[in-house]
């Protein structure tokens, strides 16, 4: 008998009717533009490729600039993508107990050679955009908003991605809307936006990758449910943890060969487009559920739960927690990680601690500490109140023991 498996994030299920292209011919780019009030975006095969196109486009404007500054705690695909196109990664540490840049260090590492600063919205929570812009403007550096986890989030009443020079979303599994990998790329600047669209149309068609992603999307459609998710997620997670391989357990074992560059297939884009109309209700339920659970978690000692600021609106794909001791995080994960409850880690290492990125030697103690002390709880609708109570009670017992 398969165990119940809660997905680690609040992915939007694909319905069987979404798979029937003759039932709908909605254009994904137009649908997202209408929903999010953004320019009609370019579509790519992944958020990572959206970043690659963004960087290549910006470098065509300032070819003398070679450096891209990124937070030292982020998805390892980000620095791999930057290096794949011959640019230089500059790691900036995060501030204490935060995923936001250490602004003093960001200012010190920014220079005339800075092409772009990657402003990263983690867990659908908006980073410190205004402070990043102040620093970027001093060196005429561009801001790229990495909103891979933040479609539906807002800053000052508008979609994330519109404050910086370029924004992008991911359509990977678990990011909400999905096309079994995909990227959404746009700019508020009309000339820059036109360049991005042209570059996306120039991507090659790779049929073998499109077939692979099509099979994966079909698998997601029929297996993305607590009763069957163990087959495509839970089993491999527990196998990796049994080998003490936490990098593989969260799917962070990447290298540059894991970044195929090609167009997003028409059928997959139409499948995603058919699901767009369900997003507003999906986000509203996630926000309501998250806020209620955040209030409970905030009462616990030793725990910080990240939440919205007054001028931000999150899509809450999951709840991001930080304990004040790595040992407490370890104890919580030991108790919950393998039980199919949607408790996991986001990025298990600071960037320079991944084997494929160990050549990046910057000293980033706060990012290292954040990686060790952070964990996440799913905000999936399938994580019902009774199951959340199990998680809450377990965490409460652990942190109150250490009180």
pLDDT digits (tens, 9 = 90+) for 78-91: 999 999 999 999 99
The lowest-confidence range among 119-128, 255-264, 378-387 is: 255-264
Residue 361 pLDDT > 90: no
CB 250, CB 354: distance < 8 Å: no
CB 143, CB 132: distance < 8 Å: yes
Residue at 284 is within a domain: yes
Residue 2 pLDDT > 70: no
pLDDT digits (tens, 9 = 90+) for 254-303: 888 889 999 999 999 999 999 999 999 999 999 999 999 999 999 999 99
pLDDT digits (tens, 9 = 90+) for 184-238: 999 999 999 999 999 999 999 999 999 999 999 999 999 999 999 999 899 999 9
pLDDT at residue 3, as a whole number: 74
For residue 201, count other CB atoms closer than 10 A to its CB.
10
Residue at 351 is within a domain: yes
Residues sharing a CB contact under 8 Å with residue 122, sequence separation 6 or more, in sequence order: 74, 99, 149, 306, 320, 346
pLDDT at residue 402, as a whole number: 63
Residue at 174 is within a domain: no
pLDDT at residue 23, as a whole number: 66
Report the mean per-residue pLDDT for the chain.
Answer: 95
Q: Give the full edge-to-edge strand order of the sheet including 312-313.
A: 158-159, 154-155, 312-313
Residue at 239 is within a domain: no
Domain that holds residue 334: 278-401
CB 168, CB 192: distance < 8 Å: no
pLDDT digits (tens, 9 = 90+) for 393-403: 999 999 998 65
The DSSP bridge pattern shows strands 166-170 and 142-146 to be parallel
Q: What is the CATH number of the domain that holds 349?
A: 3.90.1150.10
Residue at 343 is within a domain: yes
pLDDT at residue 311, as a whole number: 86
Residue at 242 is within a domain: no
**What total number of domains does the chain contain?**
1
Residue with tokens 């539906």: 152
The lowest-confidence range among 16-20, 95-99, 317-321 is: 16-20
User: Rounded distance, CA 156 to CA 139, Å?
Assistant: 25
pLDDT digits (tens, 9 = 90+) for 24-80: 678 999 999 999 999 999 999 999 999 999 999 999 999 999 999 999 999 999 999
pLDDT > 90 in the chain, percent: 93
User: Rounded distance, CA 134 to CA 127, Å?
Assistant: 14
In the numeric block, which tokens belong to residue 158?
């508008």
CB 321, CB 304: distance < 8 Å: yes
Residue 1 pLDDT > 70: no
Q: State the average pLDDT over residues 329-350.
A: 97
Residues sharing a CB contact under 8 Å with residue 97, sequence separation 6 or more, in sequence order: 304, 322, 370
pLDDT digits (tens, 9 = 90+) for 134-167: 999 999 999 999 999 999 999 999 999 999 999 9
Whether the full predicted model's pTM is greater than 0.85, yes or no, is: yes
Residue at 37 is within a domain: no
Residue at 237 is within a domain: no
Give the confidence band of 362 by pLDDT, cuts at 50, 70, 90.
confident
Closest by CA position to 323, among listed 261, 227, 401: 401
């Amino acid at each position: 008998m398969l165990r119940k498996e809660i997905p680690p994030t609040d992915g939007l299920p694909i319905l069987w009717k979404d798979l029937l292209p003759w039932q709908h011919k909605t254009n994904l780019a137009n649908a997202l533009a209408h929903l999010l009030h953004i320019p009609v975006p370019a579509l790519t095969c992944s958020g990572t490729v959206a970043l690659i196109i963004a960087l290549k486009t910006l470098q065509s404007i300032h070819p003398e600039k070679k450096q891209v500054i990124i937070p030292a705690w982020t998805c390892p695909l980000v620095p791999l993508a930057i290096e794949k196109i011959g640019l230089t990664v500059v790691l900036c540490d995060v501030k204490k107990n935060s995923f936001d840049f250490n602004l003093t260090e960001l200012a010190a590492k920014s220079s005339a050679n800075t092409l772009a600063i990657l402003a990263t919205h983690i867990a659908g929570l908006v980073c410190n955009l205004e402070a990043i812009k102040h620093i970027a403007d001093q060196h005429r550096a561009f801001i790229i908003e990495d909103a891979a986890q933040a479609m539906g989030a807002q800053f000052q009443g508008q979609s994330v991605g519109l404050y910086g020079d370029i924004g992008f979303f991911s359509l990977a599994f678990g990011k909400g809307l999905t096309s079994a990998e995909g990227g959404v790329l746009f700019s508020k600047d009309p000339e820059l936006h036109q360049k991005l669209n042209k570059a996306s149309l120039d991507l090659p068609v790779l049929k073998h990758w499109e077939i692979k992603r099509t099979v994966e999307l079909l698998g997601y459609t029929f297996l993305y449910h607590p009763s069957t998710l163990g087959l495509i997620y839970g089993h491999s997670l527990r196998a990796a943890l049994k080998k003490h391989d936490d990098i593989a357990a969260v799917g962070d074992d990447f290298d540059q060969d894991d970044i195929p560059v090609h167009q997003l297939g028409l059928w997959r884009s139409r499948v995603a487009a058919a699901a767009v109309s369900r997003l507003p209700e999906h986000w509203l339920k996630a926000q309501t559920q998250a806020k209620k659970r955040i209030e409970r978690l905030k009462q616990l000692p030793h725990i910080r739960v990240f939440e919205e600021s007054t001028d931000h609106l999150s899509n809450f794909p999951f709840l991001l927690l930080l304990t004040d001791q790595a040992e407490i995080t370890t104890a919580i994960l030991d108790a919950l990680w393998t039980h199919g409850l949607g408790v996991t880690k986001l990025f298990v290492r600071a960037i320079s601690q991944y084997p494929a990125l160990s050549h990046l030697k910057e000293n980033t103690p706060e990012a290292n500490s954040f990686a060790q002390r952070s964990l996440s709880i799913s905000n999936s609708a399938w994580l019902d109140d009774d199951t959340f109570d199990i998680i809450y009670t377990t965490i409460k017992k652990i942190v109150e023991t250490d009180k």
